[in-house]
Chains A and B, each alone.
Chain A
Amino acid sequence: MIRTTARHRSVRIARALLAGAVLGAAALAAGCAPERPAPPAAEKVFRFRLREDPPTLDPAMVTDNLSDAVTANVFRGLVAMDPATLAIVPAVASSWTISPDALVYTFRLRDDAFFQNGRKVTAQDVAWSFRRVLAKGTNSPRRWLLEPIAGSAAYIEGKTPDVAGLATPDDHTVVLTLDHPFAPFLSMLTMTGAAVVPREVYDDATKGYLRAPIGCGPFQVVRWQQSNAIEMRAFDRYYGGRPAIDRVIVRIIENRASAVEEYRAGGLDSLDEVPTDLPDDIKGDVLRYPFIGVGYVGFNLDLPPFKGNPALRKAFNYAVDKEYLWNVLLPGANTAGRGIIPPGVPGYDKDLPGYPHDEAKARSLLAQAGYPGGRGLPPITLWVNTSEENRQIAEQVQADLKKVGVGIAIKEVDWAAYIQAVEGTVEQPGAAQMFRFGWYLDYPDADAVLRLQLHSKNVGPPGNYFRYRNPAFDRLVDEALGLTDPAARADRYRRAERMAVMDDAVWLFLNYYGSMTLFKPYVKGVVPTPLGEFRIPLEKLRLEKTGS
């Protein structure tokens, strides 16, 4: 027990340090941060929720709706899409003309478009932005948007220093010449991937633009606190006029139950991913509107038992009660599906019969397929990626199929594992025989689902996960691409759809998507859009609440 004086002193000092450390930690709990500065009373702040951080804010790399929720407000391209009517409207280009052979697009740029760094937008910016997306080094997943431009293939391969079909005769004119007529081209130019960006910001090896994007849209990103919030401010020199909202706070809240409570408590002005069992106090805030997407269970046509057996696929379709699924089990914005092209998209076929629930027909088709009463079927597994809704859907499909004698197993895995099992490779099918999937159209054109999902050129990872190969179908879809008459195009798409749905039953057709979003009653100017809840234009919103 005998200690030297020095030792005693060191123990005392250490003990004091320990107390200080513990008290310091406690001080954090008690709060050492200053009070939150109150925003100016007149400032209008709109707060909405994203379930996770956007993977990217670089328009050349955006492929998902979380990123689009921000970039759609920061960037603009030559043309835009009217969110309500889906008509193509002027954006950076004030007007355009298309040559009679549908090959030459001439855009006249507006004089009042500015980047958020203060510089005027010129035709050279458009050309540089397009070359950036096409360049091999960018590895843009949206390169295909601009590939219809003549000479793009040679440019991508590095055979030419410039894109032959991309010209800027003066500061205000952009001329795009295509290789061949491509009807959805203008529609594709409305997508974020075709946004105009300033070279002085985006020609940066350190990629500073990833955190501080600069576009010429109505809002500018001023702060991104990872996993917490993204803050945008209204851009005074937006060519469409300064938005009525001063500030937008995008709050990152992964847990839906927590987000609902936050909305109820007033911490959010809008909320996506609305649960079906809403508390009474916010039921009146729900806005339902169609969305250009289609949900289904895909069949792998290269794997047994679905390979070469359309009768079996039809039997599955008749066995599942889609009305029960969307009206009773999961009531919300989705509606029972009958086909591939969703309502609102040119080519949508309101007379397509689809496969209404009919167990007798299902049984008869099962027998016709060689599996009477489900006997003789090999083991079948339905793959889903992890989500509560997917699980419920899969269980209902399983229960409905059981009623006609078909037993299936369900396999639930995370997205990365799931997509690998679904896509396979170009040469080899993935492991998933049946899989729950949804397809959101990138642009409101039947081409965005029929060609990308079902054309034989896209078998495997490019999008045709079902490995559907039907030359007659391919021919119709290819033909439609070159047509300029909208009625003739819609006709080709309707015929192609009937072939894939009624003859080949390539999917188990589940639903047409709808969106459901909560908006506080004081949020005015909401334009519901089939492009999805994250494409509701924030620049048109007004907040009419006292003190905001």
Chain B
Amino acid sequence: MTGYLVRRLLGVVPVLLAATALVWVLMFLLPGDPARLMAGGQGADPEILRAIRAEWRLDEPAWVQFTRYLGRITSGDLGTSYIQGRPVSAVLRDHLLPTAVLACAAAALASFAGVALGAFAAARRGRAADFLVLTLAVLGASTPVFWLALLLMLVFAARLHWFPVLGYGTDGWLLPIVGARLPEWDHLVLPAVTLALLTMGAIARVTRASLIEAGAHEFLRAAAARGAGRGRIFLRHALRNALVPVLTVLGLNLASLLSGAVATEFVFAWPGLGKALVRAIALRDVPVVEGCVLLLTAVYVLASLAVDLLYPLVDPRMMGTSGDSV
């Protein structure tokens, strides 16, 4: 297990390197000059432009800049934002917590609601409720996140006034060590629901299919014959078996959770990484773009690894097979 974990962690390094290089190349292929934006955009003094390029070493060839950047990040220095003049680590710290809170809340919501809906549909297989859940699942997965976000905002905030329209709130709980604030809880609901609806459908469908498949197995009949109650059979036997594919779906949907967060953050004015990344791209703030991509890639890769490691916990028969199965 330890060997497997080390191998997988080492495997993260080339992925991060490849992502860094790819983003660097793309940023250099994009037209636009960060020095110009730093110098005040239109009408910038050419002498100041030259000075800025020299100060940030933007006048060096791209590959030299990239090599230097790689050297820096290996020592843990992500550089300084061209636009904000602050360390990239500080910029990431400001934006990571909002995205983490949003993604975790959405993942939790999607998992619980998806499993519940899937179980509900499986229990009523072939009936109207089953059809309704399946339809909702397809709708949820295929609705554009922008549209969904605006719809929820209009209905539950603007019309019914149940939740704030947007924003993160300014008076959430201050986390002592991190130095960043949690959102005010009522501000979190609509963005989290929007994001959760993206993956909830897939989880519900997979849960339904898994439970139906598990229901056909003899061990359930054996458990029933032993006198186990329906609840126990469902929780201890059927659901546990069905959770493996659910975890797979959740792992696969991490990317849509992260990319969906960009659109959700935009509509709900959520101060997360997605928003920071889009703005940094527009301003050609390469160090911040690189920092965001590195962080998001690392989160994605590590979260996928965590999902793999969770398999044996959900189904002990998979203990010791992770290394082979992944």
Q: Which residues of A contact B (CB under 8 A)?
A: 1, 3, 7, 11, 14-15, 18, 22-23, 25-26, 28-34, 36-37, 52-53, 55-56, 61, 63-64, 136, 139-144, 207, 210-211, 223, 225-229, 231, 249, 251-255, 257-259, 261-262, 264-265, 267, 413-417, 419-421, 423, 426, 452, 458, 461-463
List chain B residues, Cβ under 8 A from A55: 83-84, 283
Nearest B residue to A228 via CB reads B271
List chain B residues, Cβ under 8 A from A211: 86
List chain B residues, Cβ under 8 A from A249: 170
Q: Is the Cβ of B161 less than 8 Å from the Cβ of A29?
A: no
Offer 7 A-B interface pairs, CB within 8 angstroms, sorted by A: A26-B109, A29-B105, A55-B283, A63-B40, A210-B84, A226-B91, A416-B30
List chain A residues, Cβ under 8 A from B150: 257-258
Flag whether B282 is at the interface (Cβ < 8 A).
yes
List chain A residues, Cβ under 8 A from B9: none
Chain B: residues with Cβ within 8 Å of the partner, total of: 81
Q: Is the Cβ of B188 less than 8 Å from the Cβ of A22?
A: no
Q: Is the Cβ of B170 less than 8 Å from the Cβ of A228?
A: yes
Q: Is the Cβ of A265 less than 8 Å from the Cβ of B48?
A: no
Q: Is the Cβ of A462 less than 8 Å from the Cβ of B43?
A: yes
Q: Is the Cβ of A419 less than 8 Å from the Cβ of B271?
A: no
Q: Is the Cβ of B42 less than 8 Å from the Cβ of A423?
A: yes
List chain A residues, Cβ under 8 A from B49: 461
Closest Cβ–Cβ distance, residue B257 to chain A (whole Å): 12
Which B101-115 residues have a C-beta within 8 angstroms of A? 101, 104-109, 111-112
Flag whether B77 is at the interface (Cβ < 8 A).
no
A32, A63, A226: the one contacting B95 at CB < 8 Å is A226
List chain A residues, Cβ under 8 A from B184: 33, 36
Closest Cβ–Cβ distance, residue A372 to chain B (whole Å): 36
Q: In the complex where A36-B184, A262-B166, A267-B165 touch, is A52 in contact with B173 (Cβ < 8 A)?
A: no
List chain B residues, Cβ under 8 A from A426: 46
Flag whether B44 is at the interface (Cβ < 8 A).
yes
Chain B positions 31 through 71: 1 when the CB is less than 8 Å from some CB of chain A, otherwise 0? 11110110111111110110110010000000000000000
Flag whether B7 is at the interface (Cβ < 8 A).
no
List chain B residues, Cβ under 8 A from A25: 104-105, 107-108
Q: Which residues of B contact A (CB under 8 A)?
A: 30-34, 36-37, 39-46, 48-49, 51-52, 55, 83-86, 91, 94-95, 98, 101, 104-109, 111-112, 150, 153-154, 157-158, 161, 164-173, 181-186, 188-189, 192, 266-269, 271-272, 275-276, 279, 282-284, 310, 312-314, 316-317, 319
Q: Is the Cβ of A261 less than 8 Å from the Cβ of B108?
A: no
List chain B residues, Cβ under 8 A from A413: 31
Q: In the complex where A7-B319, A255-B266 touch, is A32 in contact with B158 (Cβ < 8 A)?
A: no
Closest Cβ–Cβ distance, residue B142 to chain A (whole Å): 22
Q: Is the Cβ of A11 less than 8 Å from the Cβ of B316?
A: yes
List chain B residues, Cβ under 8 A from A141: 39-40, 44-45, 48
Closest Cβ–Cβ distance, residue B241 to chain A (whole Å): 14
Q: Is the Cβ of A225 less than 8 Å from the Cβ of B188?
A: no
Q: Is the Cβ of A261 less than 8 Å from the Cβ of B165?
A: yes
Q: In the complex where A416-B284, A419-B42 touch, is A261 in contact with B167 (Cβ < 8 A)?
A: no
Nearest B residue to A19 via CB reads B313
List chain B residues, Cβ under 8 A from A264: 158
Closest Cβ–Cβ distance, residue B19 to chain A (whole Å): 22
Q: Is the Cβ of B173 less than 8 Å from the Cβ of A253?
A: no
Nearest B residue to A52 via CB reads B279
List chain A residues, Cβ under 8 A from B45: 141, 143-144, 462
Distance in angstroms between the alpha carbons of A29 and B161 in the assembled complex = 18
Closest Cβ–Cβ distance, residue B50 to chain A (whole Å): 10
Instruction: Give 6 A-B pairs besides A32-B173, A227-B271 with Cβ atoms closer than 8 angstroms.
Output: A7-B316, A26-B112, A29-B109, A227-B276, A254-B275, A264-B158
Nearest B residue to A417 via CB reads B31
Nearest A residue to B50 via CB reads A139
Closest Cβ–Cβ distance, residue B43 to chain A (whole Å): 4
Distance in angstroms between the alpha carbons of A142 and B48 in the assembled complex = 10
* Closest 10 A/B residue pairs (Cβ): A31-B185, A416-B32, A141-B40, A227-B271, A63-B40, A25-B108, A29-B105, A417-B31, A463-B43, A25-B104
Distance in angstroms between the alpha carbons of A22 and B40 in the assembled complex = 47
List chain B residues, Cβ under 8 A from A210: 84-86
Distance in angstroms between the alpha carbons of A28 and B183 in the assembled complex = 9
Distance in angstroms between the alpha carbons of A172 and B272 in the assembled complex = 47
